């Protein structure tokens, strides 16, 4: 928390107490949990007696409540927020963003809402071109065949989605998605990416990209999008515009209540990129993750979760091979019998060498909207993998163990399950919850595959990124990719920060040691939600990077099956 200037210069007479109370509410609204009295005093700069009086008044008026861990917001601010959103003027709030996007990209922009299981266009701004697309204001379109419609459909609750799938998913063009299963997987991907793309699905000549406008409860109250001729809006450009419409949607939401819904990227650090960092394999992965060096084959495997695809390479620039996967997939590890074991949005699967898929287990079948995000195998070949809600709703993920056809839930209440790894002696297990900005360390019994006492290994404040994927080197050092941190950090076994590798991308996602002597640190990266300007600054986003950190790694273990 950062201390604030308590100067009241310019405050009208008699309003000092009100200003102090509002400052206190600002501090609590920015905190991720309860805040203790001393921290509030430091953050506000108020004298102890004054702070006591302000706190008690806010408690009496239900703006604050006291818990065992400190103070947090009470019920009153949430009641006021509901009233604000009840009177929310979507068209008025969206008008500046529609005009801005139309000017900036010289394409038509549209605003839409959900209306009786269809998308209804309620506003449009035209491109400044001789040839324009016609106005669609007042028209309706199929929910499953347009970018704006799918951006809205991705945020439907489970019951509403089922009703959509049971309806007539008419084939408006040859490109229209008409399979309920295919549409469900596509909507899950849209929810994960944050935007929807449609190419010739509702009209042979049109393409579009759109993002949902979410209220304070994460309910989609509308969608904003860019629409134009398909020959101008190719797939690459639509994805490049994805973050632009996401930002516009966040700005619309922020026009009421000034909600902090931005998705800004941390500034590039002043430090130069570490000298040993180089481009290993060119690529444009949306969300590269889960690197695994197969020492026997001399091949690195990783996934692009949002493509979705399994990517393989022997480390040579020309040797990038992609295998398309049917659903969001966060885990792909070689099996001793050949092929891969996968963890995705519908459970655990075996990908056989001939390309066939076999479903092995679905331990989270009762948690609709979840997917597996990261995983590794221990020295006995057991698969450990963690999950998250595609919406990243807090506490909906878990950590699972899978072996001999059986699943076991080791941890629950996880927000974003991420990096996993073991110490060289297999007595310590590391596990990241990115949502909690924490890496945990557990005692580990290799013979039984069970976890012991949990302790905090490393905590982060988020100012310089949050922990994502990790690996452990042969000396016991823990290497952590820092999402939005422009770096990979090394921690000693006691949790002491030791070394930092600065990389030329804001979103490194994970890392793994590979190469003939396990001395190369491969780093996966992401380009998801980066604007064109940000990609100009960090053009290697989505590529595979490599560094020589001066230590060797451990051999990665395949799945015993």
Question: Annotated catalytic sites, by residue?
Answer: 468
Structural contact between residues 497 and 489, judged by C-beta atoms closer than 8 angstroms:
yes
- By the 8 A CB rule, do 512 and 556 touch? yes
Number of H helices, E strands in the chain: 10, 32
Spatial separation of the C-alpha atoms in residues 471 and 514, rounded to whole Å:
11
Rg (CA), the chain: 25
347's CB contacts (< 8 A; 6+ apart) are 359, 360, 361, 362, 363, 364, 365, 372
Residue 205 DSSP label: T
CB atoms near residue 158 (< 10 Å): 9
CA distance 132 to 155: 30
Q: Which residues pair with 467 in a beta bridge?
A: 482
For residues 96 and 101, what is the distance between their CA atoms, to the nearest angstrom? Answer: 9
The rounded distance, in Å, linking the Cα atoms of 328 and 188 is: 8
The conformational region for residue 105 under phi > 0 = left, psi -120 to 50 = alpha, else beta, is alpha
- Could you give the angle at the alpha carbon of 379 between the alpha carbons of 377 and 383, nearest 5°? 20
């Amino acid at each position: 928390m950062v201390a604030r200037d308590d100067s009241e210069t310019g405050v009208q007479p008699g309003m000092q107490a009100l200003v102090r109370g509002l400052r206190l509410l600002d501090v609590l609204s920015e905190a991720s949990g309860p805040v203790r009295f001393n921290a509030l005093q430091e953050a506000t700069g108020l004298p102890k007696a004054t702070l006591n009086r302000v706190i008690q008044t806010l408690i009496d008026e239900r703006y604050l409540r006291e818990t065992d861990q400190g103070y947090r917001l009470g019920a009153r601010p949430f009641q006021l927020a509901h009233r604000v959103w009840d009177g929310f003027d979507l068209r008025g709030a969206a008008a500046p963003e529609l005009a801005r996007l139309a000017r900036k990209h010289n394409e038509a922009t549209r605003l839409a809402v959900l209306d009786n299981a269809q998308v209804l266009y309620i506003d449009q701004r035209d491109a400044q071109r001789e040839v324009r697309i016609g106005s669609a204001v007042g028209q309706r379109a199929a929910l499953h065949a347009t970018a704006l419609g799918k951006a809205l459909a991705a945020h439907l609750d489970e019951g509403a989605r089922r009703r959509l799938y049971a309806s007539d998913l008419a084939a408006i063009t040859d490109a229209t998605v008409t399979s309920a299963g295919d549409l469900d997987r596509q909507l899950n991907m849209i929810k994960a990416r944050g935007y929807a793309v449609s190419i010739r699905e509702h009209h042979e000549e049109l393409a579009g990209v759109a993002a949902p406008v979410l209220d304070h409860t994460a309910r989609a109250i509308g969608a904003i999008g860019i629409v134009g001729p398909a020959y101008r809006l190719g797939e690459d450009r639509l994805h490049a515009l994805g973050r632009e419409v996401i930002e516009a949607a966040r700005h619309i939401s922020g026009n009421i209540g000034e909600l902090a819904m931005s998705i800004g990227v941390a500034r590039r650090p002043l430090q130069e990129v570490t000298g040993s960092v180089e481009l290993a394999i060119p690529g444009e992965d949306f969300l590269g993750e889960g690197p695994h060096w197969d020492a026997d084959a001399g091949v690195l495997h990783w996934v692009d979760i949002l493509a979705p695809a399994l990517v393989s390479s022997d480390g040579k620039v020309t040797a990038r091979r992609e295998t398309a996967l049917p659903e969001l997939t966060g885990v792909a590890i070689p099996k001793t019998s050949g092929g891969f074991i996968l963890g995705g949005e519908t459970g655990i699967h075996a990908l056989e060498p001939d390309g066939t898929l076999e479903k092995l287990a679905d331990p989270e079948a009762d948690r609709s909207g979840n997917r597996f995000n990261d995983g590794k195998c221990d020295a006995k070949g057991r698969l450990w993998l963690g999950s998250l809600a595609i919406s990243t709703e807090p506490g909906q993920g878990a950590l699972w163990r899978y072996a001999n056809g059986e699943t076991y839930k080791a941890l629950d209440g996880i927000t974003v399950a991420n990096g996993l790894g073991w110490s060289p002696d297999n007595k310590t297990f590391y596990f990241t919850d990115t949502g909690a900005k924490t890496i945990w360390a557990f005692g580990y019994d290799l013979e039984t595959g069970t976890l012991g006492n949990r302790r905090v290994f490393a905590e982060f404040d988020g100012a310089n990124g949050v922990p994502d994927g990790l690996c452990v080197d042969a000396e016991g050092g823990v290497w952590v990719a820092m999402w939005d941190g422009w770096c990979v950090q090394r921690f000693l076994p006691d949790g002491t920060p030791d070394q930092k590798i600065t990389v030329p991308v804001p979103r490194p996602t994970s890392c793994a040691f590979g190469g003939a002597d396990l001395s190369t640190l491969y780093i996966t990266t992401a380009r998801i939600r980066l604007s064109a300007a940000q990609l100009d600054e960090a053009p290697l986003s989505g590529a595979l990077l490599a560094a020589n950190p001066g230590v060797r790694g451990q051999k990665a273990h395949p799945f015993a099956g």
